[in-house]
Amino acid sequence: MRIVIAPDSFKECLTATRVAESISEGIRLVFPNAEIIRIPFADGGEGTVEALVTATSGRIVPTPSVDALNRPIQSFYGVLGDGKTAVIEMAATSGLEKLSPLERNPLITSTFGTGLLIEAAMEAGFRKIILGIGGSATNDGGAGMAQALGFGLLNQKGKSIGAGGGSLTEVHSIHKTHVHPFLRETSITVACDVRNTLLGNSGATRVFGPQKGATPEMIETLEINMTHFAGILFQEFGINFAEIPGSGAAGGLGAGLMAFCNAKIVSGFELISQLTHLEEQINQATLVFTGEGKIDSQTAFGKTVSGVAKLGRKYAVPVIALAGIVEDDLEELYNQGITSVYTIGDQTMSPDESIVRASELLTDTTTRILRNLQIQDRK
């Protein structure tokens, strides 16, 4: 028996690597001789660096940076096994999980720390960078990132604007005199499965702002400010980045990366699938396990579980999905190739208990599923 384990992380709980290990422990209890292939996954958010470094036998480089409130932190970037490509996840600096709920305020949070990681990778000699932009705490259109790389975002008095989405309306001009000299020769590929554009009802602010701490009043201010900033980008670069799919990802960091870094946005799932040889592994599998913290109707639209399901269907391999929370309306996910979906907790547990016991629950649920399959096979 050959079992592939390809989960995403359980956000604010377990990394994808730990999820895969926990499922693997459950498999061993039932099928001790099974061949198990662990492929920790990420779609551009938290765990992207770990997943790619693990898959390619690369390494982690500890790097100082700042969080979304510009407080000094120890962060990191990865180097793939080819030794030539750096991989960065913005969640490692400008991510939501770096802030407590009371600290989350997209009027003042900034992507400056993400820019510092890009700078560090370029200074270390890397001219190919993969950047995952999921899990952001920001709504600044990549302004902070641009400032970290030497772009001058100036107000009408020629002074630098402040940090965060609350300052975007002050941008009057963009100066490029002090842009980092290596940026022009560096190729940045953005791993992102969010297709939202920058503005409007399906844009960065209105869709993602609330989860970053934005109140309804903040949403209106941020949308006005982002609209102004989009106009400045068009004025300076001659491209309407606001209309490009993915420009609204990570609070508009997608637009900022395209504008300031000439970056290319690609599907995070497809990119990471290629680097980890996921399709080839599923083609040879007897059974596949996947999962993420929450599975709901949105999971079918570009999430890791959806991508794994489609590959399972392509090669007629059963795919079992595990989650901490499972909501209704999963018909599309079943149509894509998921065989079964299981929640790892039960109704008697509090959310806090489920989080603390997540690894144990994953192992126990996996064991229960496989023992049930054995019983069914015997009938």
Torsion 134-117-254-86 (CA) sign: negative
Are residues 151 and 112 in contact, defined by beta-carbon separation less than 8 angstroms? Answer: no
CA distance 232 to 137: 23
CB proximity list for 166: less than 8 A, separation 6 or greater: 107, 108, 221, 222, 225
Residue 90 CA to its chain's centroid (Å): 8
Are residues 169 and 225 in contact, defined by beta-carbon separation less than 8 angstroms? Answer: yes
**Three-state secondary-structure class, residue 290:** strand
1-53 pLDDT per residue, tens = 999 999 998 877 888 889 999 999 999 999 999 999 999 887 677 788 988 89
CA distance 123 to 174: 23
Are residues 101 and 110 in contact, defined by beta-carbon separation less than 8 angstroms? Answer: no
Name the CATH architecture for the domain at 2-40+277-378. 3-Layer(aba) Sandwich (3.40)
CB proximity list for 259: less than 8 A, separation 6 or greater: 142, 146, 233, 236, 237, 239, 241
Phi, psi of 202 (to 5 degrees): -105, 15
CB atoms within 10 A of CB 37: 19
Predicted local confidence at residue 375, as pLDDT: 59
Predicted local confidence at residue 10, as pLDDT: 86
Are residues 114 and 82 in contact, defined by beta-carbon separation less than 8 angstroms? Answer: no
288-298 pLDDT per residue, tens = 999 998 898 87
Nearest by Cα to 123 from 185, 58, 57: 185
Predicted local confidence at residue 62, as pLDDT: 97
Are residues 79 and 121 in contact, defined by beta-carbon separation less than 8 angstroms? Answer: no
Residue 321 CA to its chain's centroid (Å): 19
Are residues 139 and 248 in contact, defined by beta-carbon separation less than 8 angstroms? Answer: no
Predicted local confidence at residue 68, as pLDDT: 97
Phi, psi of 110 (to 5 degrees): -135, 155
Predicted local confidence at residue 216, as pLDDT: 96
Q: What is the percent of the chain with per-residue pLDDT over 70, rounded to a whole number?
A: 98
Helix (H) or strand (E) holding 291: strand 287-295
Buried b / exposed e along 95-105 (16+ C-beta atoms within 10 A): bbebbeeebbb
CB atoms within 10 A of CB 329: 10
Which ranges in the chain are annotated with CATH 3.90.1510.10?
A: 48-268
Are residues 278 and 6 in contact, defined by beta-carbon separation less than 8 angstroms? Answer: yes
In sequence order, the β-bridge partners of residue 302 are none
Predicted local confidence at residue 379, as pLDDT: 43
Which ranges in the chain are annotated with CATH 3.40.50.10350?
A: 2-40+277-378
In sequence order, the β-bridge partners of residue 295 are 326
3: which DSSP letter?
E
Nearest by Cα to 279 from 249, 314, 248, 306: 314
pLDDT < 70 regions, the chain: 43, 347, 375-379
Does domain 48-268 match CATH 1.10.3720.10? no
Predicted local confidence at residue 303, as pLDDT: 83
